[in-house]
């Protein structure tokens, strides 16, 4: 019971109408029966906080609705409804967005179930996230999610145009079901081929154990080039989480894609949004006015014919005189350019040719490329340097420095290359055909002397003294040179060789020293020696023997 109520006169603490003052009202523990105030801050000693105020002058405060700001510090444990300070704190926290805590890492899969990485395309894009945690008031587990492998893991398209399925449409096929962006109409606008667009993914953190969900916000428009899409220069990405999901929804990522022919998406980039609060810190929060609500607009007719439409549905007609103004960002998707153009980027999806008919055309080629067959050479300082070279017959072009070239004759080119080309790395090089002469040794065999490596000429000589002594046999061979038509080295057996020798033709042969036994006549007594092989007639007598027999020593 606070009767009688404590009061305090704050006249001495007010500011002026131009410069209001802060006022801190409290009750000191040391003076419990009175209230005190300060313009600086709460006291350092123990106290109870009553209110902090922002006051203009006393006169204005008394007549103009009281304090500019009045915060009462109601920290009571419970009131007449049995609800108190802690319940109020919990209710206040639940007004905040869900706070991501950990996990929920995002990857993509393609139509084959393999990871889809940036720069690659697929006819199907499947969302995959890891398990994680997020806070409502208490921390809860966000389950792992895989559209490719789990049939019940689907996506809800929050702002799907009515004619395309309507809000919160469930999909398991993003490429087939996301074909329009949300321009605020029931039909939406079809995403064009070779156009870029951004999708914002966010999660719904339900109670642990209950199914949680992943949502997609469609963009409000599309882009004709990648740089603008990544920067989202027109703020087309939708980061808002509907109020129905207050305290349960949290941002996951922004994905940038490009629609290409054949109903395929090319994965361009991913921006991690975990931990960011929509729409303050994520993207750009912009308050816009519906075009149809603009003053002096004849709606819904399109009566702004003096403007080009961003999607290119209204063509530029007539003479376009920019005066002294310079266009710094022009996207031309089709048609021909017939006048001088200074450009910095061609969209890779289109081919561009400079017509040769009519007046001459000049182009500042900061990124112009030269296409020869299937090869593309980017225009740069290198091409300028090559163009300045003077032609020389039978010559080559040599790089002498970065983007600098020179003409070299065949002889000069040979000098340049000889010291750099590795002989052993040449095509069709065969190590067996290239021999180090100092590594090959000729060794003399038996009966021969000489030899050495083949770095110089070598000779071999017959070396009889190195041969072993042996008795020749009839079957042994004797080498000889055949002087017949074959004219080659051959061999003959000793027996054959011996049979070809003519005894009577030998050196020092004397015919009077060689007699046949039939021509020998005994004319006297043989006093000694042996006479073999010839029958000698013996005079009959003695024991009657007529011939000499072996072992007979008496006739």
For position 343, what pLDDT does the model report?
A: 53
Give tens-digit pLDDT for 169-181: 999 999 999 999 9
HEC per residue, 37-71: EECCCCCCCCEEEEEEEEECCHHHHHHCCCCCEEE
**Residue pair 207/148 in contact by the 8 Å Cβ criterion:** no
User: For the chain, which ranges sit under pLDDT 50?
Assistant: 280-287, 299, 361, 540, 555
Count CB-CB contacts under 10 A for residue 379.
15
CB neighbour list of residue 509: distance below 8 Å, 6 or more residues apart:
503
Would you call 115 exposed, middle or buried from its count of C-beta atoms within 10 A (0-12, 13-18, 19+)? exposed
Structure tokens at 156: 């809800």
Count CB-CB contacts under 10 A for residue 300.
9
Beta bridge partners of 141: 133
For position 253, what pLDDT does the model report?
A: 96
Count CB-CB contacts under 10 A for residue 347.
13
Say which residue the tokens 């300082």 belong to.
Answer: 381
Q: Pick left, alpha or beta for residue 194 (phi over 0 → left; psi -120 to 50 → alpha; otherwise beta).
A: left
For position 195, what pLDDT does the model report?
A: 96
> Minimal CA–CA distance to 87: which of 26, 136, 137?
137
DSSP 8-state class, residue 115: B
CB neighbour list of residue 463: distance below 8 Å, 6 or more residues apart:
444, 447, 448, 449
For residues 466 and 107, what is the distance between their CA atoms, to the nearest angstrom? 87
Q: What is the dihedral of CA 301, 306, 311, 314, to 10 degrees?
A: 80
For position 490, what pLDDT does the model report?
A: 85
Structure tokens at 11: 């006249």
């Amino acid at each position: 019971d606070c009767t009688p109520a404590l009061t305090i006169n704050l006249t001495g603490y007010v500011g002026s109408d131009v410069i209001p003052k802060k006022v801190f009202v409290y009750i000191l523990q040391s003076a419990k029966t009175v209230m005190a105030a300060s313009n600086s801050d709460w006291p350092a000693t123990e106290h109870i906080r009553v209110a902090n105020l922002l006051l203009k002058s006393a006169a204005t405060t008394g007549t103009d609705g009281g304090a500019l700001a009045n915060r009462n510090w109601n920290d009571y444990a419970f009131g007449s409804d049995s609800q108190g300070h802690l319940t109020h704190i919990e209710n206040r926290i639940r007004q905040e967005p869900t706070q991501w805590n950990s996990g929920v890492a995002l990857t993509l899969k393609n139509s084959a179930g393999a990871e889809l990485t940036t720069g690659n395309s697929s006819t199907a894009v499947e969302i995959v996230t890891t398990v994680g945690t997020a806070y409502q008031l208490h921390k809860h587990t966000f389950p792992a999610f895989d559209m490719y492998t789990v049939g019940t893991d689907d996506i809800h398209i929050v702002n799907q145009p009515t004619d395309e399925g309507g809000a919160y449409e469930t999909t398991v096929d993003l490429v087939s079901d996301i074909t329009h962006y949300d321009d605020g109409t029931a039909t939406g606008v079809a995403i064009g081929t070779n156009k870029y667009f951004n999708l914002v993914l966010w999660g719904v953190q339900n109670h642990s154990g209950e199914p949680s969900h992943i949502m997609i916000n469609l963009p409000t428009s599309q882009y004709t080039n990648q740089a603008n899409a990544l920067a989202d220069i027109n703020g087309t990405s939708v980061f808002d989480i509907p109020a129905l999901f207050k305290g349960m929804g949290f941002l996951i990522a922004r994905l940038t894609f490009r629609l290409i022919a054949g109903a395929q998406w090319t994965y361009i980039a991913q921006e991690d949004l975990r931990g960011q609060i929509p729409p303050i810190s994520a993207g750009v929060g912009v308050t816009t006015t519906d075009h149809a609500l603009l003053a002096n607009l004849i709606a819904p007719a399109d009566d702004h014919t003096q403007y080009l439409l961003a999607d290119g549905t209204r063509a530029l007609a007539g003479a376009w005189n920019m005066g002294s103004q310079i266009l710094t960002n022009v996207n031309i998707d089709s048609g021909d350019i017939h006048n001088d153009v200074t450009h910095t980027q061609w969209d890779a999806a289109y081919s561009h040719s400079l017509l040769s008919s009519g007046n001459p055309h000049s182009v500042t080629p900061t990124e112009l490329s030269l296409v020869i067959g299937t090869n593309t050479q980017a225009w740069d300082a290198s091409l300028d340097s090559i163009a300045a070279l003077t032609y020389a017959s039978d010559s080559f072009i040599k790089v002498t420095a970065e983007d600098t070239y020179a003409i070299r004759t065949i002889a000069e080119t040979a000098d340049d290359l000889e010291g750099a080309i590795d002989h052993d790395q040449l095509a069709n090089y065969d190590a067996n055909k290239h021999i180090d002469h100092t590594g090959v040794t000729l060794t003399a065999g038996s009966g021969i002397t000489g030899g050495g490596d083949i770095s110089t000429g070598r000779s071999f000589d017959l070396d009889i003294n190195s041969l072993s002594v042996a008795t020749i046999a009839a079957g042994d061979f004797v080498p000889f040179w055949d002087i017949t038509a074959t004219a080659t080295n051959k061999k003959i057996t000793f027996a054959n060789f011996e049979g070809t020798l003519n005894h009577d033709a030998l050196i020092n042969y004397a015919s009077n020293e060689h007699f046949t036994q039939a021509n020998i006549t005994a004319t006297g007594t043989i006093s000694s020696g042996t006479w073999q092989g010839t029958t000698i007639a013996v005079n009959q007598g003695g024991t009657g023997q007529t011939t000499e027999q072996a072992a007979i020593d008496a006739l």
